[in-house]
Amino acid sequence: MNLTQIAGGIVGIFVDKNTRLLVQGITGREGQFHTRQCVAYGTRVVAGVTPGKGGQKMDHTPVFHTVKEAVGQTGANCSMIFVPPPFAADAIMEAADAKINLIVAITEGIPVLDMMRVKNDLSGKPSRLIGPNCPGIITPGECKVGIMPSPIHQPGGPIGVVSRSGTLTYEVVHQLSREGIGQTTCIGIGGDPICGTSFIDCLDAFEKDPETSGVVLIGEIGGTYEEEASEFIAQNMTKPVVGFIAGLTAPSGRRMGHAGAIISGGSGTATGKIAAMKKSGIHVCEDLGGFGRFCTTVFKDA
């Protein structure tokens, strides 16, 4: 389910039409709603997990008590998690323990210490975690593992999108599609202080993906992910990158909705991030209203 399979005509990174999706928390309100949306988009949803509800069905999808059981019976290789915050870290580690390749945690509000334990636990395991507190990942036209509105996407590439935000990504993707710029894969890495997958992981995969010819990177205040990404781009990327940073007007010391979006002690400012991006040759768009047109200019030769 990765780049190596591109020979078979598969577009995008991390998820594609061969992805076999399992949904943890499938019987909850959000789990049900978004599972149906993913099925409607064409994602192969093979199983659900809700402890205590094994043996039941959610629409046509079989529900299991445990992830191991679900993987054994259905060959699921990707999990989407809607489990509430107090139990979400446990759910992620359960998926990793069952050797799920890709774990996409949608849940918002997981305690930071829980996520630190998860991150350290996963560091020795082959599973990739995207999120938490993220909209998920979509390879338009092939596979959606997340909660993003489907119709705004345009299949076929050639642009990859990676972002820390949800609705801001929808805004950007919408503008891209309106300009006739399709997407290979769009990934929301999440707005929490600890993310399973970083900008760098995604940039690296987009750089290696032959179908992707340019990347859009949407950052925001807080932390140093954007600075690290800028460094990586300067050193390793040949494809053009358009960047945007939200939070130029955000006050210091306040948590701006996302747990990770906070300027602390003068670090993590939008100005600092924009400077780092420009220095690394990233095409920084400072006017969200004109983002689509800006991309058309930058990517016209890409």
Partner 1 sequence: MKIHEYQAKKLFKKYGIPIPDGDVASTVDRAKQIANKLSGFPVALKAQIHAGGRGKGGGVKLATSMDEAIQFADQIIGMTLVTDQTGPEGQKVKKILVERGLNISEELYLGIALDRSNAKIVIMASKAGGMDIETVAEESPEKIIKVFINPLLGILPFHCRDIAFGLQLSLSVMKSFYEILTNLYRLFVDYDCSLLEINPLVTTKEETMMALDAKINFDDNALFRHKEIVDYRDPDEEDPLEVEASKYNLNYINLDGNVGNMVNGAGLAMATMDIIKLADAEPANFLDVGGGASEEMVEIGLKIILSDKNVKGILINIFGGILRCDVLSKGLVEAARKTGINVPVVVRMEGTNVDEGRKILSESGLNLTMAVDLKDAAQRVAKLVTNG
As annotated, the active-site residues are: 258
Give me the least distance between CB of 247 and partner 1, in Å please.
4
The C-alpha atoms of residue 206 and residue 43 are separated, in whole angstroms, by 21
Q: Which of 128, 105, 82, 116 is nearest to 193 (CA)?
A: 116
CB closer to partner 1 out of 17 and 153: 153
Which of 4, 235, 238, 249 contacts partner 1 by CB under 8 A?
249
Map the footprint of partner 1 across residues 48-87, applying CB under 8 A: 85-86
Strand partners, 158: 182
Residue with token string 């932390």: 223
Nearer to partner 1, 14 or 170 (CB): 170
What's the min distance (Å) between Cβ of 113 and partner 1? Answer: 5
Is 220 near partner 1 (CB under 8 A)? yes
Instruction: Give yes or no for a contact between 222 and 165, defined as CB atoms under 8 angstroms apart.
Output: no
Which of 7-15, 70-78, 204-212, 219-227 is the region at the interface with partner 1 (rule: CB under 8 A)?
219-227
> According to CB under 8 A, which residues from 144 to 203 bind partner 1?
147-149, 152, 163-171, 174, 191, 193-194
From the list 13-21, 42-50, 208-216, 261-269, the region that binds partner 1 by CB under 8 A is: 261-269
Task: Pick the binder of partner 1 from 156, 208, 290, 297 (CB under 8 A).
Answer: 290
Smallest distance, partner 1 to C-beta of residue 141, A: 19
Q: Give the nearest distance from C-beta 148 to partner 1 in angstroms.
A: 7
Least distance between partner 1 and beta carbon 47 (Å): 23
- Please give the structure tokens belonging to residue 103: 């774990």
Q: What is the DSSP string of the chain?
A: --GGGGGGT--SSS--TT-EEEEETTTSHHHHHHHHHHHHHT-EEEEEE-TT-TT-EETTEEEESSHHHHHHHH---EEEE---HHHHHHHHHHHHHTT-SEEEE------HHHHHHHHHHHTTSS-EEE-SSS-EEEETTTEEEESS-GGG--TT-EEEEEES-SHHHHHHHHHHHHTT-EEEEEEE--SSSS-SS-HHHHHHHHHH-TT--EEEEEEESSSSHHHHHHHHHHHH--S-EEEEEE-TTPPTT---SSTT---BTTBS-HHHHHHHHHHTT-EE---GGGHHHHHHHHHTT-
Minimum distance of partner 1 from residue 240's CB (angstroms): 22
- By CB under 8 A, name the one of 78, 218, 242, 276 that touches partner 1: 218
Q: Which of 83, 130, 189, 221 binds partner 1 (CB under 8 A)?
A: 221
Sole binder of partner 1 in the list 25, 223, 240, 243 (CB under 8 A): 223
Binding string, 22-41, against partner 1, x = CB under 8 A? --------x-----------
Per CB under 8 A, residues contacting partner 1 are: 30, 85-86, 109-117, 119-121, 135, 147-149, 152, 163-171, 174, 191, 193-194, 218, 220-221, 223-224, 228, 244, 246-251, 254-261, 265-266, 270, 286-290
